[in-house]
Amino acid sequence: MNATLRHAAWVLRGNPVTLAAGLGVLALALVALLGPSLVAYDPIASNVPQALQPPSAAHWFGTDQLGRDVFSRVVVATRLDLAIAASAVTLSFAVGAVGGAFCGYAGGRLDRWVGRFVDVLMAFPLFVLAMALVAALGNRVENIIYATAIINLPFYVRFARAEVNVRRNQGWVEAARCAGNSHASVVLRFLLPNVLPAMAVQVSLNLGWAILNAAGLSFLGLGVRPPTPEWGILVAEGARFITTGKWWLVVCPGGALMFAVLCFNLLGDGLRDILDPRLRT
């Protein structure tokens, strides 16, 4: 563990962007965890006399058409947005990595069929597919998660399959079979752990994408419904006022969204360097 930390410190020292992104993700996680207790105003209660105030010392991000504090709403929304993204990515990662790894190891007919199915899935415009799924399954948070997970799935299946495919004929896989490991054990105990560092990069990039996706669905009125604070909804509601110069209603939640996506994307690369044991000497 100590060696891992030392190695991480070494990677981060030469890579300040990753460090900044890591700190950003950490901050986001804290905000998500502590969200409601960090803010001074109730994010849902309206206060019409204070409607549409520009940013001030009392209301850092201004107020919206019902007088709600935008800063409180943006902060409280973090938890929901990150939760949706994290659950969706976890789900598609778990299913995709294991399924893809088995396909890559087994090869043959199973691999071909799964490969074609994934190709078909990827041929759809993915966001439209997600919209269709949410519309069909019903307008609920868990359905956003499933839809986001399904449209992310092809990337994980393909990635795991390709990574396992290049390793399946390596000496240590043959050695594992000589040592009496079953095929499941070869995949789960040998191949998957070796593929994970490369996949961690994918996970990090994907988290950013999943946040955008969830926000995008809500923006279109699918999934999370007002008055629940959620970045996509905040942007959608604010968009109505942008022509009248009430910019803070869009820029503030939009900025939060951008910050989150940027942090996860930048973290990706540094993560691979930290997690791969072979890069340690």
Cα 204 to the center of its chain, rounded Å = 7
Instruction: State which of residues 25, 176, 251, 266 lies at the interface with another protein (CB under 8 A).
Output: 176
Nearest in space to 51 (alpha carbons), one of 32, 35, 64: 64
281 sits near another protein (criterion: CB under 8 A): yes
Q: How far is the CB of 139 from another protein (least distance, A)?
A: 43
Judged by beta carbon, residue 83 or residue 198, the one nearer another protein is 198
Considering only 171, 243, 244, 245, the residue that binds another protein (CB under 8 A) is 171
CB of 9 to another protein, least distance (A): 11
Print the binding letters for residues 2-41 with another protein: x by CB under 8 A, - otherwise.
--------x-------------------------------
Q: Which of 125, 193, 221, 226 binds another protein (CB under 8 A)?
A: 193
Give the contact letters, 123-162, x = binds to another protein (CB under 8 A), - = no.
----------------------------------------
Q: How far is the CB of 174 from another protein (least distance, A)?
A: 5
Asked if 280 touches another protein (CB under 8 A), the answer is yes
Residue count at the site for another protein (CB under 8 A)?
22
Closest approach of another protein to the CB of residue 1, in Å: 12
Judged by CB under 8 A, which of 175, 221, 225, 259 binds another protein?
175
User: Residue 139: exposed, middle, or buried by beta-carbon count in 10 A (0-12, 13-18, 19+)?
Assistant: middle
Q: Let me know: does 249 contact 264? Beta carbons within 8 Å.
A: no
Binding of residue 245 to another protein (CB under 8 A): no
Cα-based distances in Å from 271 to 7, 32, 108, 133, 265 = 11, 22, 33, 32, 10
Cis bond before residue 43 (omega within 30° of 0): no
Residue 63: strand pairing partners: 69
Phi, psi angle pair for 124, to nearest 5°: -70, 150
Among 53, 194, 202, 213, binds another protein (CB under 8 A): 194
Interaction site with another protein (CB under 8 A): 10, 170-172, 174-183, 185, 190, 193-194, 277-278, 280-281
